[in-house]
């Protein structure tokens, strides 16, 4: 079953934020790889919302297109 954020990713506004599982699915990797890619500055920096770490949808779309982070 697809994570709801991933299933609706194309309909999300650029200002929306998604979790690490969605980022992993978008980049075709596992969650630990997301953190490794973040340390290597290969994906956009996430934001903290209380206890949650979330990535901006607009920034992820740019990164997926191969544009500069």
Does residue 9 belong to any structural domain of this protein?
no
pTM of the model as a whole:
0.87
How many domains is the chain built from? 1
Q: Residue 8's CB: how many other CB atoms inside 10 A? A: 13
Q: Quote the CA–CA distance of 34 and 7 in Å, as a whole number.
A: 19
Distance CA 35, CA 24 (A): 9
| Spatial contact of 14 and 57, defined as CB atoms under 8 Å apart | yes
Residue with tokens 């607009």: 58
1 assigned to some structural domain: no
Report yes or no on 36 lying in a domain: yes
7, part of any domain: no
In a domain, 35, yes or no: yes
6-24, pLDDT tens digit by residue?
A: 788 889 999 999 999 999 9
The domain in which residue 20 lies consists of 16-65
Q: Give the span between the Cα atoms of 62 and 57, in whole angstroms.
A: 9
pLDDT single digits (tens) 23-57: 999 999 999 999 999 999 999 999 999 999 999 99
């Amino acid at each position: 079953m697809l994570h709801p954020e991933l299933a609706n990713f194309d309909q999300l506004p650029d200002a929306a934020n998604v979790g690490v599982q969605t980022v992993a699915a978008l980049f075709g990797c596992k969650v630990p790889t997301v953190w490794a890619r973040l340390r290597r500055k290969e994906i956009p920096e996430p934001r903290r919302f209380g206890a949650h770490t979330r990535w901006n949808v607009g920034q992820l779309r740019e990164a997926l297109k191969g544009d500069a982070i």
